[in-house]
Copies of this chain bind each other. A is one copy, B any other.
């Protein structure tokens, strides 16, 4: 896995440079929100979603600048969701990757505004002609991200997660929750390359199928790490789901079945990529990485 982790680290560095480049700067009293946006984004994240954008874009010979800008936009959006999820009224998390969360480092009002600013910035980046010369591509990117991030996607998934805290969800309901809360953005990350490259339907469908399985495997491993992971390796508090009485893939399937299910999904994800022959090695390596992380 050393080689893949190196590749992932290199992508993170490049994406961080691009994010730094597109973040707003200011000198007036409003600069506090810019500082909070930067703090929330530059959090040492692995940049899994940007990696998916770059790896899928590579399949269609998309220019690196285009792919990097879309990768940056997705990570801005992902960071906004973490900042708002950490708020006292939501998950009330004081730590994020071992550092104070944004509302702890700044304050709640600034954290709310920083999230709002990052969400808005994601759409500004996608619609900027610097991202792609074809306005149809830019408009498609915006539409696809808005659908993935909105009430029928991530925002609805987070609402469902809060509402379901003390419901006895079955495996179907948990799967639906995951597809909305985290799956939709992972799907978009993989499809973004196809949108940028104006790929044929068959390629899009293959990437969508890969992303569906990858996202589910990712969530199952997340649930596993919450049960069996060590706090310093995972980088956030563990055991929170159990404390909250939350139904998870692990609470329903048990540890062993959850592990084998994640592995099965990763294999299945890789299988969908056969249409790209040997050009999808990075995406395949990501599927392996997802089920092996934290070990």
Contact = CB atoms under 8 A, between A and B. Distances in A.
Which of A89, A108, A110, A120 has most chain B Cβ within 10 Å? A120
Contact of A89 (B109, B126, B145, B167): B109
A39 to B, nearest CB: 13
Which of under 10, 10 to 19, 20 to 34, or 35 or more describes the interface residues of A?
35 or more
Contact of A30 (B116, B119, B127, B180): B180
B135 A112 contact: no
Interface stretch (A47-55, A146-154, A232-240, A264-272): A146-154
Interface stretch (A9-17, A157-165, A198-206, A210-218): A157-165
Q: Is the interface of A mostly helix, strand, loop or mixed?
A: helix
A23 to B, nearest CB: 9
Interface stretch (A94-102, A136-144, A221-229, A250-258): A136-144
Contacts of A162: 109-110
A139 B28 CA distance: 29
B157 A30 contact: yes
Nearest to A124: B146
B29 A164 contact: yes
B120 A146 contact: yes
A208 interface: no
10 contacts: A30-B157, A32-B159, A112-B112, A113-B159, A119-B119, A120-B146, A120-B151, A127-B143, A134-B135, A138-B139
Given A26-B156, A29-B160, A89-B112, 19 more contacts: A26-B152, A28-B176, A29-B163, A29-B164, A29-B167, A30-B156, A30-B180, A32-B163, A33-B155, A90-B109, A110-B162, A115-B116, A117-B151, A120-B155, A127-B146, A134-B135, A138-B139, A139-B142, A142-B142
